[in-house]
Amino acid sequence: MTPEKQSSRSTRSQRKIAVAPLSDFPPGTRMEVKVGRVLIAVFNVDGEFFALFGRCPHQSAPLSRGRLQGTVICNADTCWETQWAHDGEVLVCPGHGMEYNVRSGKAFGYDLKLRTYEVVVEDGQVIIVM
């Protein structure tokens, strides 16, 4: 990337979308936000906020209605023993059960990643930064 393109990209203003007052968004809750034609699912996981593209690419099920759980892993890191992992950070699609890491947007078991968005709290408001 040329220096001119880098500087123009870094000076681009960020769009901030207010989701809800922090007091209305306690841990364990989720909200669905529509920005133009884009649906975004926002989750409060133990006080940390995560926002992802809100439709499953498989059949467009609304991910804000999916449950958060953990998953079983088995790999070289676990010495090939099954282990429960990512507790409360696995978003399960309500349509067909596809699992996504709510932190990264990556699907478990597939080469697929949902777009993620930064979430900040400013002046008592939960805000998506786009």
Count structural domains, the chain: 1
Q: Is the pLDDT of residue 55 over 70?
A: yes
Query: What does the pLDDT look like over 29-48, one tens digit per residue?
Result: 999 999 999 999 999 999 99
What is the domain range of residue 40?
3-129
Q: Is the pLDDT of residue 12 over 80?
A: no
Q: Is the pLDDT of residue 99 over 70?
A: yes
Q: Write down the pTM of the prediction.
A: 0.83
CATH of the domain at 65: 2.102.10.10
3-state secondary structure of 13: coil
Q: How far apart are CA 9 and CA 28, in angstroms?
A: 35
